[in-house]
Chains A and B, each alone.
Chain A
């Protein structure tokens, strides 16, 4: 039998979903504490556009 690929075990539901967050705005920044470096990705809220008013 062919071996099934190992499944990456992830904490299901740990991500959840943000609402009204612009996922294309992610900026990565490294933080080092006690010689351990991790990468944080910060996102910005979606900017609500106000309806443009006609100027006559």
Chain B
């Protein structure tokens, strides 16, 4: 049931390794534990919030006066990266893309808004 699924989501926690996408000039890693109900958008928002403190850029993005956001990618077994839907939860990401016994590797890339 949805309630059980919700409870399971609340009980599950995931270890994440947030790494910079190859095209991302910021070269820093983050090790984060987050609940299964956290969405990709939560991760993007967290990076944006931490970026102002850890990487010294304004809320508009690294070195830019234009608004933007962090896009989150997951590596593909065949190589390359798949852009994650911002509405997906970590539980969704794990079930669809990361059924492995190790922390989930995610890659971030700052995207300027048009």
Q: Which residues of A contact B (CB under 8 A)?
A: 8-18, 21, 26, 29, 31, 33-34, 36, 38-45
| Contact digits for B31-51, partner A, Cβ 8 Å, 1 yes 0 no | 111111111011001100110
| Interface-lining segment among B10-18, B60-68, B70-78 | B10-18
Q: Which residues of B contact A (CB under 8 A)?
A: 8, 11-15, 17, 29-39, 41-42, 45-46, 49-50, 91, 94, 99-104
B38 touching A38, Cβ below 8 Å: yes
- Count of A-B residue pairs with CB < 8 Å: 84
Q: Which residues of A contact B13 (CB under 8 A)?
A: 14-15
**Least CB distance, A15 to chain B, in whole angstroms:** 5
Q: A21 to B16, alpha carbons, bound, how many Å?
A: 12
Chain B minimum-CB-distance residue to A34: B41
B30 touching A11, Cβ below 8 Å: no
A29 touching B46, Cβ below 8 Å: yes
Q: Select B42's contact among A15, A26, A33, beta carbons within 8 Å.
A: A33
Q: A36 to B89, alpha carbons, bound, how many Å?
A: 12
Q: Select A31's contact among B17, B45, B94, beta carbons within 8 Å.
A: B45
Q: Which residues of A contact B12 (CB under 8 A)?
A: 10-11, 14
Q: A41 to B29, alpha carbons, bound, how many Å?
A: 14
**Least CB distance, B111 to chain A, in whole angstroms:** 17
Q: Which residues of A contact B50 (CB under 8 A)?
A: 29, 42
List 17 A–B pairs whose Cβ atoms lie within 8 Å, in order of A's numbering.
A8-B11, A11-B12, A11-B36, A14-B36, A14-B104, A16-B101, A16-B104, A18-B15, A29-B46, A33-B39, A33-B42, A38-B37, A38-B42, A39-B35, A42-B31, A43-B31, A45-B29
